[in-house]
Amino acid sequence: MAGTAQTRYTSAVLTDPASGYSSGVTPVKKWKNIYSVSYQRDASKPFFCLIDNSALLSSPSLPVPPPVCPVYHSFVPINAPYTDLDVNDIYTLGNYAFFCGSVADTHIHVRYAIWGYFNIMDFFTSSMNIEFNVLLDDTEIAPTILDRIVAYPSGTSYTVVTYGRDMVSGNWKMVEIQNALGIPSGCDVISLHHQTPPGAGAVYIDDMTLTGNYVVFTGHDNYATTNTLVWYGRYMKNYFSSGRIYWLTSYSEPNGHVICTALNPGEDLFALDYTHYDEPNRKWFNRLRVIDPGSASNLYSQQFIIDTKREPLRMTYLPDLSSVELIQENSLLSHFILMQPFSTLPYSASRLTPPGELYYNLDNITGRHFIAACGSIFYFQDRTMSVPASTPSCPGNGEVEVEEIDNLNSWLAYLFSPGNLANLRVPLTGIVLPDTLKVDCYSFERDL
């Protein structure tokens, strides 16, 4: 048996040496299972980067050396009148990376929401062609910033879907752009309900995902009272105007963000997660529910107790384990909790706490590995790792006890009513330079 033993890396925390940006929301998205695409800033200019994770997925020899992870940087030259490019999310599809965020216009001193794309293969050349689109008013007021983005094939091109907020009025908006690789002259937009003071209230969009046939949005609704309802919206791909929004039938259910992730690839199930406060018993819970968007049904539900309000930040699905990896806020650090969304029995969920800062984004790499990002720091994890790790603080480990709870019905709230926005396309060319991530800590196992 000793002859068949293999060594593997189980976790690592790595820092990008090109970035002086030590904290903040850093998007990260897998590409071809061994790469991750991200966006950061250095002291003077922003850059996209491609991380090669293949060393982390290899079988190192004994004694186990630190993993060597190459990274490719594409520095983005922002030209007048634009400055201060901010990218909040990335979505990869084929060889393309689609992104969204905002940019400042120095001539008229306003911020515009932007979406764009580039060919990931350009990381292996000396320069990268990058295009972003500024969203402008048409029949609707354009959002000021875009938070999340997805894309799916549509004919010979791609359809991009994103959402964001008009920071002047406070309205949250869903946006769909067809023919994203062509020259889209306009795009469709849905503005969610909103009130201004003194009758303040809004429907907030917190997250978005793609199932086999649906585009799904999730959020919370304090249109009448504070954080009163969980809601989700969905529409069939390519049929934006057919969308509708549902409430879960329990008031005072969420207390903050409602995040989501698609589950079994190719199917239409998704999980949503949020914090719940049990007012009569003065207890905090994290709740996870599995939804079928086609029938608007809540199929599975579970919860675990938490000591105080801890915001759920992001989730990703690990198909090899039929599990959801959840990032939960833990003051200045993060908890990573491995949930079993289809479970109907109580179970103990593994909770990992890596060193570093508050990780805000993550994505799976393979069916059992994920990578998370915070500023210039990246955390890699093999979720089949024995605990504690060979380096006990990389990551620290614990458990939470999960129990089943009742499912909730859904109410149809209202249908989509689209308007239009205009696109202004801006082409750029970035210079690509190679580097290597710095290893802060790592752990490994020897399997028989």
Helices first, then strands: H and E counts in the chain: 0, 33
In sequence order, the 6+-apart residues with CB closer than 8 A to the CB of 226 are none
pLDDT score recorded for residue 332: 84
**Residues in a beta bridge with 264:** none
**Residue 22: predicted pLDDT:** 55
The per-residue pLDDT for 45 is 81
Res 208: pLDDT? 98
What are the tens digits of pLDDT across the range 346-396? Answer: 999 999 999 878 999 999 999 999 999 998 999 999 999 999 999 999 999
Report the distance separating Cα 358 and Cα 331, nearest Å. 8
Structure confidence at residue 438 as a pLDDT band (50, 70, 90): very high
CATH of domain 2-447: 2.130.10.10
d(CA 203, CA 238): 24
According to the model, what pLDDT value does residue 1 have?
37
**pLDDT-based confidence at residue 193 (cuts at 50, 70, 90):** confident
Query: Can you tell me whether residue 415 is helix, strand or coil?
Result: strand
Backbone angles phi, psi at 317, to 5 degrees: -100, 135
Place of tokens 């299972």: 33
| Mean pLDDT along residues 269-280 | 96
pLDDT grade for 314, boundaries at 50, 70 and 90: very high
Residue range 382-432, pLDDT digits in tens: 999 999 999 999 999 999 999 999 999 999 988 888 899 999 999 999 999
Average predicted confidence (pLDDT) for the chain: 92
Summarised one tens digit per residue, pLDDT across range 120-157 is 999 999 999 999 999 999 999 999 999 999 999 998 88
Mean pLDDT of 65-81: 94
The answer to which of 55-64, 193-202, 329-338, 402-411 has the lowest mean pLDDT is 193-202
pLDDT for residue 221: 84
What is the pLDDT at residue 36?
Answer: 98
